[in-house]
Every structure is written in C-alpha cells, then in structure tokens.
Amino acid sequence: MKELDAQQTVAKERLENVKNAKEYQAVKSEVEKLKAKQSSLDEELLGAWNKFESVQKEQETFLQDAEKKRGEQKDIQEQKQKKIDEHKALLEERRQQRAQREKGVPVDWLERYAMMRSRVADPVVPVQQNSCSACFWSISHQNMLMLKRGQLLVCKGCYRFLYIPKELVEQEK
C-alpha cells in the first residue's frame, strides 16, 4: 500500500509536468490503474482484517469454553479425589476392625480362610434351604444343628466355610 501511494504521488507529480495531451493521457491512465490496484488491495486488506477479527473472536470463545471445561474438570477431579480419600479412610478403618475381630478367631481357621480366599472369591457362604449356597451340597440335620449353635463348618462339596444367617435363626425361634 505504501509503495502504491509512493508510485501514485510520483505519477501525480509527472501529471503536473506533462507537455502534451498524449503524455497526459498515459500518465492519467497510469494513475487510474494505480488507484484501481490500490482499491483492490484495500478490499483484500479489509477482507483479511474481517477474517482476522472473526478468527480472533472464535479463539476468544474457544478459550473461554476451554477455561470453563478446565474448571469443571478440576471440580470433578477434586470430588473424585475426595471420594478416594474417603474410601482410603474407610479401608483403613475396616482393616483395623478386621485386625480386632481376627483376635478371637483360631489361627487354623484364618489359615484355611486365607488358602480358600486365594482360590475363590467367596470363601464364606451362607446355608440356604439346608444346602451350601455355593455348590448346593446338602447339609445333614446334625450339621444344621451345629451351625444353629454358632459353630463354623466346612462344606464337604466345595470346602467353603458355612454359616446360617441370623435372620433364619431368628425365624426358627
């Protein structure tokens, strides 16, 4: 644009110093061509400037959205970290409770439980309808009486520990 302005200024100075009509027409057409070229470059510049402004606005909205999402993600992360901390505290509490409760259990039972736990997910199962709820092995009447008295028995089918739920014992009483 500056070059065109400079060329136009030089052409206008030449226009003032022309000596005949032919020269005047040539310089005048040169000035008009420079003006047309300048006008087209002006339009290009305005189009580019408008495009730049629209892209800049899009960028601003994108950055605002990104910042909003970042804030939401941070809130979600804080909530999840809070839940993790709560679960860790609960886990530690349960570990302490387990240690307290294991004190009253015979060591051989704990060893058998640990071995069974390494093989199956549920080493202790309830008795339902006079059978093991894991393998459905039928429990004898004598063993049912022992279970009702609070003794811990091992299933003869799957070797899991058996117990009778408190609700069933209370219903029979």
Distance CA 141, CA 71 (A): 64
pLDDT of residue 78: 97
Radius of gyration of the chain (CA): 46
pLDDT of residue 14: 77
Strands 124-128 and 153-154: unpaired
Choice between 57 and 111, residue whose per-residue pLDDT is larger: 57
φ/ψ (deg, to 5) at 133: -75, -10
Give the sheet arrangement for strand 131-132, strand by strand. 131-132, 124-128, 161-163, 153-154
Report the Cα 10 to chain-centroid distance in Å: 66
pLDDT of residue 115: 87
Report CA dihedral (132, 133, 135, 140) to the nearest 10 degrees.
20
- Provide the mean pLDDT of the chain: 88
- Our CA angle for 141, 142, 146, nearest 5°, is 115
Helix, strand, coil shares, percent, the chain, to 5: 70, 10, 20
* Residue 158 token pair: 């799957």
pLDDT of residue 46: 92
Out of 64-68, 85-89, 169-173, least confident range: 169-173
Domain ranges in the chain are 2-74, 120-172
Q: For residue 171, is pLDDT > 70?
A: no
Percent of the chain whose pLDDT exceeds 70? 96
For 119, 126, 128, 148, 155, the CA distances from 167, given in Å and listed in that order, are 29, 11, 11, 11, 21
pLDDT in tens, 21-39: 887 778 778 878 888 888 8
DSSP code of residue 89? H
Out of 68-77, 116-125, 164-173, least confident range: 164-173
Confidence of residue 57 (pLDDT cuts 50, 70, 90): very high
* Residue 58 token pair: 């899009």
pLDDT of residue 169: 65
Question: Mean per-residue pLDDT for 48-76?
Answer: 96
Distance CA 118, CA 98 (A): 18
pLDDT of residue 17: 77
pLDDT of residue 73: 97
pLDDT of residue 172: 65
Comparing C-alpha atoms, which of 157, 151, 156, 161 is closest to residue 115? 161
